[in-house]
Amino acid sequence: MASQRVFQLGLRRAAAPGFRIQPAGRIVQRRFAATQSASHSQAQEILAKQRINRPVSPHLLIYKPQITWYLSVLNRITGLTLSGALYVFGIAYLAAPALGWHLETQSMVAAVAAWPLAVKLGLKSFFALPFFFHSYNGLRHLSWDVGMGFKNAQVIKTGWTVVGLTVATSLYYVFLG
CB 131 within 8 A of CB 137: no
**CATH for 72:** 1.20.1300.10
Angle between helices 67-99 and 117-145 (to 10 degrees): 120
The 3-state DSSP class for residue 126 equals helix
Give residue-wise pLDDT tens across range 113-165.
999 999 999 999 999 999 999 999 999 999 999 999 889 999 999 999 999 99
Phi, psi of 20 (to 5 degrees): -130, 140
Amino acid at 67: I
Cross-strand partners of 29: 19
**100 lies in which domain range?**
67-176
How far apart, in whole angstroms, are the C-alpha atoms of residue 6 and residue 160? 61
Residues 91, 103: Cα–Cα separation, whole Å: 11
To the nearest 10 degrees (0 to 180), the angle between helices 152-176 and 117-145 is 150
Tell me if 88 is assigned to some domain: yes
96 in a domain, yes or no?
Answer: yes
Decide if 51 is inside a domain.
Answer: no
pLDDT band at 21, cuts 50/70/90?
low
Assess if residue 125 is contained within a domain. yes
The whole-number average pLDDT for the span 163-174 is 96
Query: What is the Rg, in whole angstroms, of the alpha carbon atoms belonging to the chain?
Result: 31
Q: What's the mean pLDDT when you consider all of the chain?
A: 86
Q: Is residue 98 part of a domain?
A: yes
Q: Which residues pair with 19 in a beta bridge?
A: 29
- Domain membership flag for residue 137: yes
Give residue 65's pLDDT band: very low, low, confident or very high (50, 70, 90). confident
Does any domain span residue 95?
A: yes
- Tell me the C-alpha distance between 20 and 12, whole Å: 9
> Would you say the pTM of this structure is higher than 0.85?
no
Tell me how many domains the chain contains. Answer: 1
Q: How far apart are CA 30 and CA 33, in angstroms?
A: 9
What b/e readout covers 81-108, taking b as 16+ CB neighbours within 10 angstroms? bbeeeeeeeeeeeeeeeeeeeeeeeeee
Range from 27-41, 43-57, 84-98 carrying the lowest mean pLDDT: 27-41
DSSP three-state, residue 19: strand
